[in-house]
Amino acid sequence: MKLICIYITILTLYFTIPVKAQELSSEKDQRVFTKEKGKFHVKQLNYDSAIYYVDERIKIDNDIKNESDLIVARSEKIKTLRLQNKYEEALRIALTTYDNYCGVDQKEENCEACSNLYNELYEFSILMKNYRQALEYLEMQCDKETNWLSYYFKKARIYIWLDMPDSALITTSACISLRKTENDPFRLIHAYNNHGLIAGGLLNKQDIAIATFNKATDIAEQNNDYSEIHAVVKGNLGSAYYEKKDYNRAYKYLLFTTKESHKKTMTRSFVGASIYLAHIEIEEKNCQLGINRLESLLNNYSSEELAIRDLEILELLMQGYKTLNNNSKYNLYLEKWIALSKLKYEEKLKTQQIILDEFHANSLQLVLKQIESEKIIHKQEIMILEKTNEKNRLENGLIILGLLFISTFLLFFFWRYRIIQKRKLTVNKLRRDLLASELEHKKKDISNFTINLSYKRKFIDKVQDKLKELKQKSSEDISENLTLLIREFNSYKGLDENIKLLQSDVDLVNSAFFDKLTRKFPGLTEYQKEICGLLALNFSTKDIASLRNITPNAIKKARQTLRKKLPISADQDLVKFLKEL
């Protein structure tokens, strides 16, 4: 019986294991297929089809419980949705994926996959101009050393957007220093090239860019294996000289780039350098050479290879033929420019229509999207109309209207400003009058109290004299005289309260004075500030000593200390200086 059970188990394993392996292999093959199909449709700008295949990948990754591949697939979907301008849906998926897989509890094995997601969140932050958040997502990526070239460039670009150009240059300089320690000339050339692009292309510091590109060129010329990057750097060097209007040097380096990039079939570098050369040739009145170069690009390269520069090429051709007074060719390329502009406009319109269809359930959103589409159509029509008919009169009219509007606005603003200033002057005058009245009132109170204070001194002197007399009298007379002294003391019970009231009045009168004193001379102590306030109110040394219950010598020393701390010359009066603050 045992032998039969073992035999059945072996047969079961024999038939089931290959089937499961075959299913797993089939799922992986299907995943590879959907991935390639998705990439193909993205290149063809068929975003709906691309989304379909990436969704199929997500289903497969969910089924086989492969988190890393699932994160990558969701990141690709987010990127595709961004290309369709479906930012809301893309951001929702990005944040959900971050919370579920790449947040605080991120698994170490998902780090590389999460870097793709962080890159998408970085793009969203840039789109929303939240550059500090973008910098945080950039720093989260665990493949910074793998993609070091992109990392340092993006970081420097963020610093530029944050208006921190020095930090941008420091970042790319740090990258150069790091590459120098590796003894890898190829990576060092790329680091120099990055630094030059930031300095010249984004900060317009062409001298720094030229010096940096020259260093990269010197390294590249020492090894024939670096011919491709050498051509790219020379092209960037030529573009920097072009921006400085040094056309001779620019032409020399750009010509080198076209020759080398053509040999290496580096289409992007060849096209970019050729367009720069055509700019120089047309601007230097060597129009026919520039025209031949541009027409060669149009004849030998597809619109995909020319990327987004096909309209620029047509505009240059129009400029060249216009300079040569060849109206037939000018009109020919003008028609091509109009046709291509219309085609691009129709593609944008088609994309906008797709977006509108997807939000058909929400009428408000539909209306908003239709308005946006109409704005785009209107802008395209205006642009084509301006290029075709060259309506200078209309442009001049718009400029005049704009100037009139600005002038009217400035006059209105100036009128409002004058009214506000008049109101402020009136309010300030009323405040000054009120303060002056209060100040006068307080000065009177202080003067009255000073008289009372003087009277108090006399009273104390009188009491002292009577006490001396008591020493010489009999015990019976002492009792009678003490009763009289007690009565006199009771009449002066409220004297301490009057002193406190005087102190609060001084503080009230001098509140603005104390604020100014603290702001100009922060090193003064509270005691020294109080002395300054009493001096500014014309209190004598003796009065201040009585008020503070200290000796006049102490007040004299305080005045000497103040003269040292305040910027007063030896012959300048301290009280006058304090009053003029």
In the prediction, which pLDDT does 303 show? 72
Taking the alpha carbons of 316, 319, 323, 325 in that order, is the dihedral positive or negative? positive
pLDDT at 15: 42
Q: What is the pLDDT of residue 361?
A: 40
Query: Is 56:37 a contact under the CB 8 Å cutoff?
Result: no
Residue by residue, pLDDT tens for the chain (581 residues) are 444 544 445 444 444 434 333 444 466 677 778 777 777 777 767 777 888 887 888 888 777 777 778 888 888 888 888 877 787 888 888 888 888 888 766 666 677 778 888 888 888 888 788 888 888 888 887 777 777 878 888 889 999 998 999 999 999 998 888 888 888 888 888 899 889 989 988 888 889 999 998 998 888 888 777 888 888 888 888 889 988 889 889 889 888 888 888 887 888 888 888 888 888 888 888 889 988 888 888 888 877 777 678 888 888 888 888 888 998 888 988 888 888 888 877 765 664 454 445 434 434 444 445 556 666 776 777 777 777 777 677 777 788 888 888 989 899 888 988 898 888 888 888 888 777 667 656 655 665 566 566 556 666 777 777 777 766 666 666 666 666 666 666 655 555 555 555 555 555 555 677 888 888 888 888 888 888 888 888 888 888 887 777 888 988 899 999 888 888 888 888 888 888 87
**What is the pLDDT, as a whole number, of residue 405?**
87
Structure tokens at 573: 């009066």
The predicted structure's pLDDT at residue 11 = 47
Among residues 128, 62, 46, 52, the alpha carbon closest in space to that of 97 is found at: 62
Enumerate helices (H) and strands (E) in the chain, giving the number of each.
Answer: 26, 0
Q: What share of the chain is helix, strand, coil (3-state, %, to 5)?
A: 85, 0, 15
The amino acid at 433:
D
What is d(CA 202, CA 221) in angstroms, rounded to the nearest whole number? 26
Nearest to 260 by CA among 236, 229, 289: 229
- Measured CA to CA, the distance from residue 165 to residue 463 in angstroms comes to 79
The three-state secondary structure class of 237 is helix
Question: Where are the extended beta strands (E) located within 314-395?
Answer: none
Measured CA to CA, the distance from residue 150 to residue 176 in angstroms comes to 14
Topology of the domain covering 510-581? Arc Repressor Mutant, subunit A (1.10.10)
CA 247 to chain centre: 35
Q: Is the pTM of this model over 0.85?
A: no
- Look up residue 309 and give its two tokens: 């520069």
Which pair of tokens denotes residue 130? 């939240």
Tokens matching residue 321: 């033929």
For residue 483, give the 3-state DSSP assignment: helix
Q: Which residue has the tokens 């009058």?
A: 433
Are 212 and 205 a contacting pair, CB within 8 Å?
no
Domain 31-100+112-139: give its CATH code: 1.25.40.10
Q: How far apart are CA 213 and CA 232, in angstroms?
A: 10
Neighbouring CB atoms inside 10 A of 539's CB total 20
On the 0-12 / 13-18 / 19+ scale of CB atoms within 10 A, 274 is buried
Q: What is the pLDDT of residue 170?
A: 92
* pLDDT at 365 (0 to 100): 47
What's the one-letter identity of residue 177? Answer: S
- Do residues 71 and 98 lie in contact, with contact meaning Cβ atoms separated by under 8 Å? no
Residue type present at position 446: I
List the chain domain ranges. 31-100+112-139, 510-581
